[in-house]
Amino acid sequence: MRGEAGSGTSARRGMTIGALAVALLLGVTGTGLAVPPPPPNPSDSEINSSKAEANAKAGDVGRLTNQLAQAESKLAQLNDDVELKMEEANKARVDAETAQDEAAQADREAQSARTESDAAQATIDKARTDLDKFAAASFQQGSTVGSVSAYLTANSPKELLGRAQMLDAVGGSRLNALDTMKRAQTDKSNKDATARKKLEIAQERKRAAEAAKHEADNAQSAAQHAQDNQATQNQKLEADKAGVEKQLFEAQQKVSGLQGQRQRYEDWKAQKAREDEERARQAALAASRPSPSQGGGGRPTGRPVQSAPAGASVEAVVRRALSQLGVVYAWGGGNTAGPTRGIRDGGTADRYGDYNKIGFDCSGLMIYAFAGVKSLPHYSGYQYNAGRKVPLSQMRRGDMLFWGGSARGIHHVAMYLGNGQMVEAPQSGLRVRIAPVRYGGIMPYATRLIG
The pLDDT tens digits of the residues spanning 192-201 come to 899 888 889 9
Residue 376 lies in a domain: yes
What pTM does this model have?
A: 0.35
Mark whether 238 and 110 lie in a shared domain: yes
Rounded to an integer, what distance in angstroms lies between the CA atom of residue 245 and that of residue 325?
Answer: 10
Mark whether 343 and 213 lie in a shared domain: no
Mark whether 211 and 328 lie in a shared domain: no
Active site residues: 362, 412, 424
CATH of the domain at 418: 3.90.1720.10
Structural domain span for residue 344: 314-448
Residue 290 lies in a domain: no
Question: Cβ(299)–Cβ(281) under 8 Å?
Answer: no
- What's the N-to-C CA distance of the chain in angstroms? 82
Residue 260 lies in a domain: no
CATH of the domain at 153: 1.10.287.2610
Residue 173 reports pLDDT greater than 60: yes
Percent of the chain with pLDDT over 90: 41
Residue 108 lies in a domain: yes
Of residues 186 and 435, the one with the higher pLDDT is: 435
- Reported as a pLDDT band with limits 50, 70 and 90, residue 147 is low
**198-212 burial: b if 16+ Cβ within 10 Å, else e:** bbeebeebbeebeeb
How many structural domains is the chain composed of? Answer: 2
Q: How many CB atoms lie within 10 A of CB 186?
A: 12
Of residues 139 and 289, the one with the higher pLDDT is: 139
pLDDT of 6 reads 41
**Average confidence score pLDDT of the chain:** 81
Mark whether 215 and 326 lie in a shared domain: no
Residue 382 lies in a domain: yes
Residue 234 lies in a domain: yes
Among 187-201, 251-265, 350-364, top mean pLDDT goes to 350-364
Average pLDDT score over residue span 389-406: 93
Please say which residue of 218, 242, 266 terminates a domain: 242
Rounded to an integer, what distance in angstroms lies between the CA atom of residue 10 and that of residue 30?
Answer: 29
Of residues 263 and 412, the one with the higher pLDDT is: 412
pLDDT of 11 reads 42
Please say which residue of 242, 269, 303 terminates a domain: 242
Percent of the chain with pLDDT over 70: 77
Please say which residue of 242, 275, 304 terminates a domain: 242
Mark whether 330 and 217 lie in a shared domain: no
Residue 309 lies in a domain: no
Residue 31 reports pLDDT greater than 60: no
**What kind and span of H or E run contains 359?**
strand 358-359
Residue 291 lies in a domain: no
Cβ-in-10-Å burial (0-12, 13-18, 19+) of 445 comes to middle
The dihedral through the CA atoms of 204, 208, 209, 211 has a sign that is positive
User: Going by C-beta distance under 8 Å and a sequence separation of 6 or more, which residues neighbour residue 326?
Assistant: 242, 431, 432, 433
